[in-house]
Structure 1
């Protein structure tokens, strides 16, 4: 596997050496050692602080998509009504996931260069009366960051749960799980937390636990068995102790830097990236900068290039970034400045390489 000196893939991000060191520790079995449960409780508390929530936090072994599937399967009774708020690949994907599970799904949809209009979403909630509302905070393939203001409270008033994918934004931008009335908040370890794709994190409100108890779903991705962890000192499967220790180190580093400083680092690096792209004549996606995420910048593939050719040219210079998916495939490329990659010197090197290749054309 080839490595690249300028890593700006929008996840999995590069893993700092201090965090990688945790994977070399020879821990015992997480099923039998009290130390593991102490660590789990400590990490849960740190995640609660980072995400501004008093809700329980479930930490499962698996990539971030595990949290999405687990939330839908655990909290929805058969033939539930789901309203998907969609403005990108993952928003529309949430709808398809719910449909595949046999639920009645409605979509309040927007274009891939937009963010959801909150007023329109609230009106649809009031009219449709769903059991669950899904939303995506950061649409990584589009480089957008949605506003959640009021959606969770409207869902609550309608008797619905509010499920939010903040896999690519959690920890990198201001977000209050409790303030936004999020019942199921979904996070992955491979983005701002700067770990390999080993852990799926879900914040679970009391309302969500009640629904989970009624549904009674069992399976590897089920949330129900985690309600009493770590208090019961019993796990549904052998956990990834090394990954949990790595997550502890990551959260300690973020806490030492300070949440506001972390948010400002992401914001300033993103602004630097977008300014540099404009200076090179590269068009941003979306064009409305207020829609852009602090954790990832999307841009249009420059005229005269195909994405495959541009990707190959940048890799020759040591820069690896990402293409996009769905309707944006081949049209948009992305720079992931999140977590360990939210560094101005890294973005400057990327812009230098991109400018060099564009000038050659």
Structure 2
């Protein structure tokens, strides 16, 4: 496979050497060595700090999508009601997942190029539908938008909704996350976005209210939460943990706190602002509508009218640069620049914008 000097796919991102080399260790069996349990506990503490939560954080082996299923399968039963707040592909996907589990769903669709903004409509849906769970995506990668969470959490508390489930996969480490202040029951994260680790680990914070429901549902399966309830006390995991993956996730968290979480978030915001400004100067159109909140970790841009996505992608690759295409209704129409994690680098983005400008104007 060809390697590109300017990697800007919005995850998995380019993994720094400090994180890559952690896996080049022949660890022992995570089931039997006390060092693994110590590593797991410390990684949990770092994630709690990053998420700003006192809730337990469960770390599982598998890509970020795993913990979406973990949260849903561990707390939902056929017939349960799920209110889906959608501003894009992954927000919409929550509804498909819940429906597959036999749940009754209601989708409140704000549009792919928008962010959640009509809180009266959300409240009305909560009152009328009386859901057990509300789902949403904090940072919608295909759309390049960031959604407000606190307002939804406040409505959850006001109307006694049991669970708020929030996908923070592409936001954690690049945007402010306040799990407890936002009243989030499940905050779902992955290793391969702003944390800049390989796509092999996922994790989720679990509120006490969520744990009660997990115990009631008693789901058994690879994704099941219940077997993780007391792992830090017992040291007994439901399957052999991935020591290398946990070590890389731990290192990724360490690097963020060495930089400083606030500084890391500010770096993402600075790079994103520069990227969007250059895009506009080129005469290209940002995908989110005016008034929507653009993501600090990924910028979604309309493919230039005089080019196809395939041609744009091909020409950029010739120049040593790779960006992300898109999915579903955005496929072939919108491309994405992933300035997240190790790729939220101002010099990298400056070089990338120069190349993009040349390709767009000279081809």
TM over 0.5: yes
Partner of 2:27: 27
Give me the TM-score of the superposition, normalised by structure 2.
0.98
Partner of 2:100: 100
Deviations 1:253-287 (CA, angstroms, capped at 9, x unpaired):
11111111111000000000001111111110113
2-structure distance, mates of 1:127, 1:102:
20
1-structure distance, mates of 2:111, 2:52:
30
Within the candidate set 238, 244, 247, 1:245 is matched to 247
Partner of 1:67: 67
Deviation at 1:289, TM superposition (A): 6.2
Deviation at 1:334, TM superposition (A): 0.3
2-structure distance, mates of 1:223, 1:307:
41
Partner of 1:77: 77
Deviation at 1:290, TM superposition (A): 4.7
Deviations 1:35-84 (CA, angstroms, capped at 9, x unpaired):
10000000000000001000000000000000101110001123110000
Q: What residue ranges of structure 1 are gaps of 5+ in the alignment? A: none
Deviations 1:166-187 (CA, angstroms, capped at 9, x unpaired):
1000121111000100001100
Q: What residue ranges of structure 2 are gaps of 5+ in the alignment? A: none
8 Å CA contact 1:129, 1:158 repeated in 2: no
Q: Residue 285 of structure 1 aligns to a residue in which SS?
A: coil
1-structure distance, mates of 2:100, 2:192:
26
**Residue correspondence of structure 1 range 128-277 to structure 2 within 5 A:** 128-156=129-157, 157-277=159-279
Give me the TM-score of the superposition, normalised by structure 1.
0.98
2-structure distance, mates of 1:166, 1:130:
21
> How many aligned residue pairs are there?
361
Within the candidate set 311, 314, 320, 1:312 is matched to 314
Partner of 1:300: 302
2-structure distance, mates of 1:154, 1:358:
45
CA-based RMSD of the aligned residues comes to 1.0
> Which stretch of the first structure deviates more once superposed, 253-262 or 39-48?
253-262
Runs of 4+ in 1 over 6 A off after TM superposition: none
1-structure distance, mates of 2:58, 2:185:
13
Q: Residue 275 of structure 2 aligns to a residue in which SS?
A: helix
1-structure distance, mates of 2:208, 2:150:
21
> Which stretch of the first structure deviates more once superposed, 117-126 or 219-228?
117-126
